Amino acid sequence: MTKLKFPLLAVISLNLFILSSCGGKDELSEVQIPERESFATQNSNFPDPNTIKTKQGPYEMVGLGYGFNDFAEILKPESVYIHYDKYHLNYTNKLNTAVHGTPFERDSIPTLVSRIDNNSPRIKNLAGAYYNHNIYWKSLSPLEQTKPSESLNVAINESYGSLAELKKDFIAKGNSLVGAGWLWIVNANGSIQIVITANNDNPLMSEVNGGYPLIGIDLWEHAYYSTYEEDVTAYLEACFKNLNWNYASKRFVPKTQTTTDIITPTTPTGPKPVTASPKPSVPPTNPVVQ
């Protein structure tokens, strides 16, 4: 019996260790197991967006202004990378091939989308996709919340009453789109409006004539689905929170002043001047900011 003493104690100790390690559920719940997402590489070795180039000209990738990871508060960085490196780049390469040998080959992209029509449906679709994406990336400010300039804010208040009301219409119009397309904040001769366009149409296109785009938001599923699935409202909320109002303000031109706005002196000192007939107001010339 003396010889069995040590093995018996060893077996008892081993059983106690196993029982203490495999105790009740309360004990197991205390073990800190990392969540699945924590095993994912956060950086994923995304390249610098500026290194992503087209195969040929005339149109080039204009860059994002940010790294892919900088968009994490709005969209999954890997989603932004695929969107830019696959969809946007593919549209650009196809556009460059399509315009070679055509009258559009030397057009700037704002000129091209302004004069293209349904007689050239393929080029129209590709040009719209390329230009719209250029606007989209610049419409978001992922690292800094910005505000409209004073003149743009005045125009927003005149058109909507407040920025909060503009946001309501922004989200409502975005949700009203059936199928794929784009959501725009535009300047229509000083009046701020929100419009939607189907597929890759653009407000500058003659068949749309929707004003001058200040902000453009992609409503194709490839832009948001991997982050928000079908919750378009959440996507639009995130976008609106991070709109690049600095970019929109640079693109905004206030309503053109007419001759009726000019106050002439009530007591002229010389001969009575000849007053020209008022000229009709002309739409403002918007700055060329691609």
| pTM (predicted TM-score) | 0.75
Q: Does residue 199 register a pLDDT over 80?
A: yes
pLDDT given for residue 17 in this prediction: 45
For residues 252 and 149, is the Cβ–Cβ distance under 8 A? yes
Distance (Å, whole) CA 278 – CA 290: 34
pLDDT one-digit tens code per residue, 210-223: 999 999 999 999 99
- Per-residue pLDDT, averaged over 156-174, amounts to 98
Angle 191-197-199 from CA coordinates, rounded to 5°: 160
Let me know if 195 is exposed, middle or buried by CB neighbors in 10 A (0-12, 13-18, 19+): middle
- The stretch 163-183 carries a mean pLDDT of 97
Percentage of the chain surpassing pLDDT 90? 71
Q: Which of 4-18, 100-114, 220-234 has the lowest mean pLDDT?
A: 4-18
Would you say residue 84 has pLDDT above 90? yes
Q: What pLDDT score was predicted for residue 209?
A: 86
Q: Is the pLDDT of residue 18 over 90?
A: no
Whether the pLDDT of residue 70 is over 90: the answer is yes
pLDDT of res. 255: 81
In the predicted structure, residue 152 carries a pLDDT above the cut 70: yes
85-98 tens-digit pLDDT: 999 999 999 999 99
E strand spans, the chain: 181-188, 191-198, 212-218
Is residue 59's pLDDT more than 80?
A: yes
Looking at per-residue confidence, does 43 or 178 come out higher?
178
What's the Rg (C-alpha) of the chain?
A: 29
Q: How far is CA 212 from CA 33, 205, 252, in A?
A: 53, 10, 8
Mean pLDDT of the chain: 82
Quote the tokens at residue 113: 């989308």
**Residue showing tokens 């079908």:** 230
Query: Nearest-CA neighbor of 254 among 138, 156, 132?
Result: 156
